Amino acid sequence: MINLTKFYKYYFGFIAGLFALTVLTSCQIFHKDIRMTKLSPTQQQQVNELLKNSATRCIGTYLIDLPIEFKVKKKGNFYYKSNHDVTITTKQQYFPPFKQMIARREQELRNTKPVDPLDGNYLKHVYPVHTHNPDKMQGIIFERMESIGTSDILRVLEGYRWQDEVTLKIEMKAQNGLGEQYAKDRQIDPESYENNVPQKLAELHKLFERIQPRDDLTIPTTPGFCMFNSFMHGEDREWKDMNYGYWHDSIEDFSFYFEFNDFASDYALLDKPEVYFTQGDGYTIYKGTRESNNLKLEEWVVKNKSSEDNLEFNTDGLAYIFTLGIHVTDPTYKTPRLRLEMYYKIPDDETQAYSEKQLMVIWREITNSIRIRESSFENE
């Protein structure tokens, strides 16, 4: 006959031991220190080969050292001012394609018709961007309606400038309520039917002057803000939101993605739910905090199935996603919020892959180089 007292004693003892082992394993996963990760001499040599030819890159007001094999993506987006009134994009482009693009765009705008005939032409005006050397710089600004279905009052200044093989596009919201169809409404509410197009044109021209092309490996030494392929001269406390990425030129699906902005998140990186990082298909291999260059780095590392949600890739297989946050909940003008992701898809030939430990060291060494570009700001 079974002694139930002994059975339950051993059973619950086994469960308690299993629970303790699970907790211990979890602690080993979540509390290991990335700073103490060590590699074998062979593995370390492979990592050194990647990192030995690193170059400093400028992201907003931050600097980071990336291996030279990582090349910036061909296009970046930048939102300027808190009401999203200004959108700025830059891309590398030769002059003949730029001229063709402008000609096509102008014809497209002239052929576009508003829904309401009372709104007149969709393209309202075309303004030149003055230059002293048309072989090196050319530009144009289109004043158009915001869309075919919105009121004629709502305008967009769509400006283009080509310089040193970089095309800068600035879209700025404006309004012009001086149309005859609004005469009675203007008498009742003149402020809602004002014309600020001249003021906005002046702002756009000023941005064209401040934003100059910049090679990705050229690091400015004067106050200003590093953008994609360009640099905004002068100290600027307007709200900013920017994102772009770097791809390895020979290792497929190995990339870095940056987000830089001025707004505070509701939750610290490590306070977010795990599913935010694993997306339900993976698991955490490390999370924690460390300090480097007087910056607190929060990081979360997962291994999961690669998908279209992971940095625009849509491929099968397993991938590592490293996420880092700086000043996520407490950004200031001089210490903005920075979010960085490193994505690495394990290749089909795993003998050619970096190991998990190697990726941890690569990530650690690169993120340890993040620092503020002190000359970004005027002396106070």
pLDDT at 20 (0 to 100): 39
Bigger pLDDT: 9 vs 336 = 336
Looking at domain 83-213, its CATH architecture is: 2-Layer Sandwich (3.30)
Q: Tokens for 38?
A: 């060590």
Contact 148, 122 (CB under 8 A): yes
Q: What is the mean pLDDT of residues 65-89?
A: 87
Tens of pLDDT, residues 251-276: 989 999 999 988 888 889 999 999 88
Provide the pairing of β-strand 254-261 with 337-345: antiparallel
Residue pair 340/321 in contact (Cβ under 8 Å)? The answer is no
Element housing 350 (H / E): none
Q: Cα dist. 34→212, 273, 274, 361, 367 in Å?
A: 39, 21, 19, 8, 12
pLDDT (average), residues 54-72: 96
d(CA 64, CA 229): 16
- CA separation (Å) from 314 to 88, 249, 317? 28, 19, 10
**Residues facing 260 on adjacent strands:** 242, 338
pLDDT digit string, tens, across residues 166-193: 999 999 999 999 988 888 888 999 888 9
What proportions of the chain, in percent to the nearest 5, are helix, strand and coil? 30, 35, 35
pLDDT in tens, 201-246: 999 999 999 999 999 999 999 999 999 889 999 988 888 999 989 9
Q: What is the CA radius of gyration of the chain?
A: 27
Cβ-proximal residues to 327 (8 Å cutoff; 6+ apart), any chain = 295, 296, 335, 336, 337, 338
Q: For 34-75+238-373, CATH number?
A: 3.40.1000.10
Cα separation, 341 vs 312, in Å, equals 13
Q: What is the pTM of this model?
A: 0.84
- For residues 226 and 58, the answer to whether their CB atoms sit within 8 Å is yes
What digits encode the pLDDT tens for the residues 86-123?
999 999 899 999 999 999 999 999 999 999 998 999 99
- Determine the pLDDT at residue 5: 52
Per-chain mean pLDDT for the chain: 87
Residue with tokens 């063709």: 100
Boundaries of every domain in the chain = 34-75+238-373, 83-213
Name, in order, each residue with C-beta under 8 angstroms of 367's C-beta and a sequence gap of 6 or more: 64, 292, 297, 299, 324, 340
The 10s digit of each residue's pLDDT in 19-42 is 433 333 333 344 568 888 899 999
Determine the Cα–Cα distance for residues 349 and 317; give it in Å rounded to an integer: 12
Q: Would the pLDDT of 16 be above 60?
A: no
Give the Cα separation of 187 and 367 in Å (integer).
59
In the DSSP assignment, the letter for residue 250 is S
